[in-house]
Amino acid sequence: MTKKIKILPNNVANKIAAGEVVQRPASVVKELMENSLDAGAKNIEVFIKRAGKVLIQVSDDGEGMSEEDALLSVRRHATSKISDIDDLTNIRSYGFRGEALSSIAAVSVFELKTERYDDEIGTLIRIDEEGQIKTEKGSFPKGTSVAVKNLFFNTPARRHFLKSNATELKHIVDVFKKEALTHPEVAFKLFNDDDLLFDFRAGTLEERMSSIFADNILDGVLEVHEKTEFIDLTGFVAKPSYLSRARGEQYLFINKRYVVSKTINHAVFTAYENILEKGDYPFFVLFLKIDPSKVDVNVHPSKLEVKFDDENSIYSFVHAVVKKTIGSYDLVPSMTFGNETPEGEKLSFNNYNKVRREDFTDRPAFVEKKREVETPAFSDEEIDELFGSINREINSVAPAGTDSHPFEKTRTTEVYHSAPETDSEGEEVGSGSGFIVSLHNKYILAQIKSGLMIIDQHVAHERILYEKALKSLESDMPFSQQLLFPQKVKLDPADYELLKEILPHLNRLGFEIKFKSNFGIEITGVPSEVKVGTEIRTLNEILDEYRKNEREENLDIVHNVAASYSCKTAIKAGDKLNESEMRILVDQLFATSMPYVCPHGRPIVIKIPLKEFDRRFGRTS
């Protein structure tokens, strides 16, 4: 009998293995640039011809190699990066498999020039189309230069599947930018068909960001900086107004290696909470530094995938840091008139103004300048008294022309002004605590340093109740308002089963409900935010909202319950508030972790700058 199983010749095996490492010209650029970085290069130049199909050359001023090392570098599984199996759990370099150069040489015409700084003469290695290695000595620039010609010339099928020059060049540029981001202290140049495409000078990360993305990119991002004993997270995340429709605008580097991690991407996305609309992705450039033994980059030859020793802890850390970063800046969007259309002018967002961390001075004067979530300006008793009374006694829509209100005792107007501050000569120098006014019982208008702030009272209260609900759900210390007359109602079977499913969470919010036969229920207690006489309607609305959120927003059960509850118990558009209620509402809004959007993603607050009013009225000073 003849044998069916054979040992492949080395040249065939090498070509097959090369397919794992060298998938397209961009793969070659990546491997060669990372070798240069591992060699300690301070200047790296990349030369491309015909999108890398004809030539890819990477030259650096790194430490260079001896002739012996240069010859070993093109052999399979030869590497200077690791020595034994234990090194695989503590990888600190980019290359470590010993496959890159040998794989590249197996599918190209390969040339390597190298010379160490202490040597007077360097080494030239050529690997021709037959795979023969030729060595020469000569004088070369210090460092290493690798030229890869006619990529995939000996694997026609692979070459046939390469895309157009424009597509392949796009992949090369993408790799080049990612490598340049990891080392802003290194200078990089990229030439395409003798044209200089990019010239990144050595500098800071901020300077490199401006060079790669846009001159004003720093105006659209927030700095992330959190260092601990075990893990560091630094970089930049987008302001809420700078959200991208492109999934590829997320750059994650672990120990300076570009990687793709669904875990960390999800942690960042959820930190933006309800700011993201469907199809939006936040731009970010994040650098995670972690003990190499706690992360495995040896998942795939491309080294793009990673696995963490403790994935849950990493997720929680990234989520908490990014959410804290977003909450540390005053990100209320500014709006201006413009964009003439057949329908007239439209408001447009403009939130690229620079903001400083912990600077909350551009808010209503009666709001604490630096938000302290744990110590609100008003006590819980005051808030419960005011908002509880609103929900119990206020009509959902105030009758037209009616000025009376349960809370109003002596005031009969909706506009309130503080006495202006004056200097020693009686000239006005300030505006005291600023005015606050209700607009159509829907919006709260307040004076701020830069102009006018407009707050949607319903979604503002919704945000406050949402965060309060989350705390109640987490702490499991409900406060229930007992009903003098329990409310009984019969639900349809679907609502009856849904209520059974989420009742433990509703209990934590303060609902007390008993199940009866034939799909009946009895409500004996409710949270203080539920208005007297609306218990059944509110519960039905919460169930409807929960089902809608489940269908459209894919929220987990805790956040869905909190969002549904806050939406249906918050004060409504049309509910009339007096000055004290409005001021407490605004103060409590800015004590939340995310005062910019409601749990459903609707904006809560906008600013209209004073200069926009000046422009409309033709003022020049």
> Which CATH number is correct for 334-458+575-616, 3.30.70.60, 3.30.420.40, 3.40.50.1220, 3.30.1540.20?
3.30.1540.20
Q: How far is CA 214 from CA 208, 221, 285, 332, in A?
A: 10, 12, 14, 23
Measure the CA–CA gap between 75 and 173, rounded to whole angstroms.
28
pLDDT at 48 over 60: yes
Measure the CA–CA gap between 409 and 480, rounded to whole angstroms.
30
Tens digit of pLDDT for each residue in 504-529? Answer: 999 999 999 999 999 999 999 999 99
Average pLDDT of the residues in 105-131 = 93
Give me the CATH code for the 10-202 domain, please. Answer: 3.30.565.10
18 phi-psi bin (left φ>0, alpha ψ -120 to 50, beta other): alpha
Residues in a beta bridge with 337:
347
Identity of the highest mean pLDDT range in 20-29, 307-316, 417-426? 307-316
pLDDT at 420 over 70: no
Measure the CA–CA gap between 122 and 144, rounded to whole angstroms.
10
Identity of the highest mean pLDDT range in 14-28, 345-359, 455-469, 554-568? 455-469
Measure the CA–CA gap between 60 and 37, rounded to whole angstroms.
9
Give the E-state strand segments of 239-363 in sequence order: 243-244, 250-254, 257-259, 281-282, 284-290, 295-296, 307-308, 334-341, 344-350
Tens digit of pLDDT for each residue in 134-180? Answer: 999 999 999 999 999 999 988 887 888 899 999 999 999 999 999 99
pLDDT at 492 over 80: yes
Measure the CA–CA gap between 111 and 70, rounded to whole angstroms.
11
Name the H helices within 328-455: 380-393
Indicate the range of 157-161, 257-261, 332-336 predicted with least confidence: 332-336
Measure the CA–CA gap between 161 and 55, rounded to whole angstroms.
18
Asked if residues 282 and 272 have their Cβ atoms less than 8 Å apart, the reply is: yes
Instruction: Using pLDDT thresholds of 50, 70 and 90, give the confidence band for residue 619.
Output: confident
Average pLDDT of the residues in 301-311 = 74
Q: Which amino acid is at 397?
A: V
Question: For the stretch 294-309, what's the b/e string if a residue is b when 16 or more beta carbons lie within 10 angstroms of its beta carbon?
Answer: ebebeeebebeebebe
What pLDDT shows up at residue 340? 54
Helix (H), strand (E) at residue 484: strand 481-490
User: By percentage, how much of the chain surpasses pLDDT 70?
Assistant: 76
Asked if residues 566 and 588 have their Cβ atoms less than 8 Å apart, the reply is: no
Tens digit of pLDDT for each residue in 265-277? Answer: 999 988 887 777 6
Instruction: Please tell me what DSSP assigns to residue 75.
Output: S
Measure the CA–CA gap between 605 and 612, rounded to whole angstroms.
17
pLDDT at 221 over 80: yes
Rg (CA), the chain: 32
Q: Where are the domains positioned within the chain?
A: 10-202, 213-327, 334-458+575-616, 480-526+530-569
Average pLDDT of the residues in 26-30 = 94
Tens digit of pLDDT for each residue in 78-98? Answer: 454 444 444 444 444 454 445
Instruction: Using pLDDT thresholds of 50, 70 and 90, give the confidence band for residue 3.
Output: low
The whole-chain average pLDDT of the chain stands at 82
Tens digit of pLDDT for each residue in 357-399? Answer: 888 888 887 665 444 444 444 555 555 555 554 444 443 333 4
Tell me which residue of 223, 225, 221, 233 sits closest to 315, measured CA to CA: 233
What count of other Cβ atoms lies within 10 Å of the Cβ of residue 230? 11
Average pLDDT of the residues in 301-326 = 85
Name the residue with higher pLDDT: 305 or 504: 504
Indicate the range of 54-58, 124-128, 354-358, 431-435 predicted with least confidence: 431-435
Q: Answer yes or no: CATH 3.30.450.20 is held by domain 213-327.
A: no
Three-class SS of residue 153?
Answer: coil
CATH topology of domain 480-526+530-569: Ribosomal Protein S8; Chain: A, domain 1 (3.30.1370)
Is the Cα torsion angle 122, 126, 132, 134 positive or negative in sign? negative
DSSP string, 199-210: EE-S--HHHHHH
Name the residue with higher pLDDT: 186 or 612: 186
Measure the CA–CA gap between 447 and 422, rounded to whole angstroms.
18
Measure the CA–CA gap between 333 and 453, rounded to whole angstroms.
10
User: By percentage, how much of the chain surpasses pLDDT 90?
Assistant: 52
Tens digit of pLDDT for each residue in 532-576? Answer: 999 999 999 999 999 998 888 777 899 999 999 999 999 999 999
Q: How far is CA 169 from the centre of its chain?
A: 27
Strands 143-149 and 55-60: antiparallel
Average pLDDT of the residues in 124-131 = 89
Instruction: Using pLDDT thresholds of 50, 70 and 90, give the confidence band for residue 408.
Output: very low
DSSP string, 274-290: GGPPTT-EE-EEEEEEE
pLDDT at 414 over 60: no
